Structure 1
């Protein structure tokens, strides 16, 4: 998924908050790589994190990531996010060698890695920051990602984040072609009424102002 033209990224929480919307689910044990086109976010790629044998010599894995990202012909940089709870709390960490290999291979291909992060279930941190003064252990709470403005805007636009797909899973309730046609027609009818407002930055900002005022001054209990 490539993000809409007019999404505004204010910080890493916004970028990390966009990733689950781009994939449709919150990734786990995954490397997520995103291309950059100047200041714009580009394509999103998710791969399983490699095992110990690959981590011992991650150059081929890094080249695979590079080859996928080069499909975005306008890309000039990349962002990396390691979604894992394994071995990143105490630098250098399990994936520091993989991060170094990715940076070297992508930089050689003209895709400089501008930022990289580790994201666990409860905390996240900058992959390059080891100082306790600026990046105290265990990291920043993941709730900051969930509360990011871009995540709120994606929800406002109708995006949702579902559960991660299970390996080999099948739909519990198969949908017939006739039922699918009815569903799609209904979605199209609602979209015709709502999409113009849903895509309006002005409308979103006004909504946020009202929510902030309401939360700051909750109505008195009866």
Structure 2
């Protein structure tokens, strides 16, 4: 999906590029190595990984536009070690059919330098030109390639990403750069306090309602499958209509939807109707945060898919993580995790979903159920990081 209102950010210097990176990723990177990849003068991919020895995972983001540049993000899980991380990122970036790159390291020199050196070498080995290699430490940046003291002094150059023209343009365009990745993770974290207790009671009511639904299903409806699908379609339609109009679901509506989404055909019905629209991201974020443990995987996976379709790779990553913490073997989450780790671009699904393409509105073209992907997703995640299945 390509958003019709992507911001154009004018990048004319290393300082401008550094100011743009947080808006491309969605948060300010720390203790990270970032690769900005270009096709001609257009940024088409941005990838981030933690420095060797740190705990969180690498990401990439898009689509977003920087000086007429479309950006795609993905999230990857490299093995530990600077060389391994560098090789993995270079492999992912090279798949995007880019021509040149800028490598940026964030953190203390003793950790950044080996990471950036390894990344430069891996990118060049992959046939990618490295336009610049930068280190950002304590509000200053240095270039590993520029030796002109008039341009790149030994003490580095001070810059403030929050006060630049690029930051102002991005903010005006509605782009957000959170303080760090933890702030992004908190956006999909479960709500607590009175909300949690209210949702606990609502979920008990929803489970009892589901039992009554199945008990009342006719004998010809094997295991109540048709009844569940009909109820699920109605709940999904209500939720989407409500959020499309800027509304919010009640606790009982969230709980009922979360119980129905455990039925794979219902989950698939929602998946087929999920793209990258902001209201859909808001819907699945709300449901993900409010549902009870054990019911998180489906809405979190749908949030991950919506975020990935919109090019918000980092948000997709934390949503997948939330889904897999709830259910480590959840097939859709595993499939999305693999797509993110392999740098699959959202544009590969342009034109999808094809809701309304069948004989009646709401029907999709016939294809294998997502429920059939469980085995494939499990097998693919056993391949080495970055390998295409």
Task: Return closer, same or farther for 1:47/1:138 CA change in 2, 3 Å cut-off.
Answer: same
- Larger radius of gyration between Structure 1 and Structure 2: 2
The 5 A counterparts of 1:41-80 are 41-51=43-53, 58-73=82-97, 75-80=98-103
- Encode CA deviations 1:142-186: one digit per residue, 9 max, x unaligned: 32x333222221111111212323397524467999889656533
In the alignment, the residues of structure 2 paired with residue 25 and residue 180 of structure 1 have an alpha-carbon distance, to the nearest angstrom, of 28
In the alignment, the residues of structure 1 paired with residue 103 and residue 144 of structure 2 have an alpha-carbon distance, to the nearest angstrom, of 9
Gaps of 5+ in 1: 88-92, 189-222
In the alignment, the residues of structure 1 paired with residue 125 and residue 144 of structure 2 have an alpha-carbon distance, to the nearest angstrom, of 20
Deviation larger for 42-51 or 167-176: 167-176
Query: Does the Cα contact within 8 Å between 2:35 and 2:102 map onto a contact in 1?
Result: yes
Q: Tell me the secondary structure at the aligned position of residue 13 of structure 1.
A: helix
Query: Does the Cα contact within 8 Å between 1:76 and 1:111 map onto a contact in 2?
Result: yes
Match of 1:118 in 2: 135
Query: Does the Cα contact within 8 Å between 2:31 and 2:51 map onto a contact in 1?
Result: yes
In the alignment, the residues of structure 2 paired with residue 159 and residue 46 of structure 1 have an alpha-carbon distance, to the nearest angstrom, of 18
TM-score (norm 2): 0.39
2:104 aligns with one of 72, 78, 81? 81
In the alignment, the residues of structure 1 paired with residue 118 and residue 178 of structure 2 have an alpha-carbon distance, to the nearest angstrom, of 32
Query: Does the Cα contact within 8 Å between 1:82 and 1:119 map onto a contact in 2?
Result: yes
In the alignment, the residues of structure 1 paired with residue 26 and residue 89 of structure 2 have an alpha-carbon distance, to the nearest angstrom, of 20
Match of 1:127 in 2: 144
Higher helix content, 1 or 2: 2
In the alignment, the residues of structure 1 paired with residue 103 and residue 26 of structure 2 have an alpha-carbon distance, to the nearest angstrom, of 18
In the alignment, the residues of structure 2 paired with residue 47 and residue 71 of structure 1 have an alpha-carbon distance, to the nearest angstrom, of 17
Query: Does the Cα contact within 8 Å between 2:104 and 2:116 map onto a contact in 1?
Result: no
The 5 A counterparts of 1:42-191 are 42-51=44-53, 58-73=82-97, 75-84=98-107, 86-87=108-109, 93-129=110-146, 133-143=150-160, 145-166=161-182, 169=186, 170-172=189-191, 185-186=245-246
Match of 1:11 in 2: 13
In the alignment, the residues of structure 1 paired with residue 167 and residue 17 of structure 2 have an alpha-carbon distance, to the nearest angstrom, of 9
Task: Return closer, same or farther for 1:82/1:184 CA change in 2, 3 Å cut-off.
Answer: farther
| CA shift for structure 1 position 133 | 5.0
Task: Return closer, same or farther for 1:9/1:132 CA change in 2, 3 Å cut-off.
Answer: closer
| CA shift for structure 1 position 42 | 1.5
Query: Does the Cα contact within 8 Å between 2:37 and 2:45 map onto a contact in 1?
Result: yes
Task: Return closer, same or farther for 1:180/1:119 CA change in 2, 3 Å cut-off.
Answer: farther
Higher strand content, 1 or 2: 1
In the alignment, the residues of structure 2 paired with residue 138 and residue 181 of structure 1 have an alpha-carbon distance, to the nearest angstrom, of 56
* Count of residue pairs brought into register by the alignment: 177
- Encode CA deviations 1:118-148: one digit per residue, 9 max, x unaligned: 11232222233466554335422232x3332
| CA shift for structure 1 position 7 | 3.5
Q: Tell me the secondary structure at the aligned position of residue 33 of structure 2.
A: strand
RMSD: 3.5
Q: Tell me the secondary structure at the aligned position of residue 150 of structure 1.
A: helix
Query: Does the Cα contact within 8 Å between 1:121 and 1:142 map onto a contact in 2?
Result: no
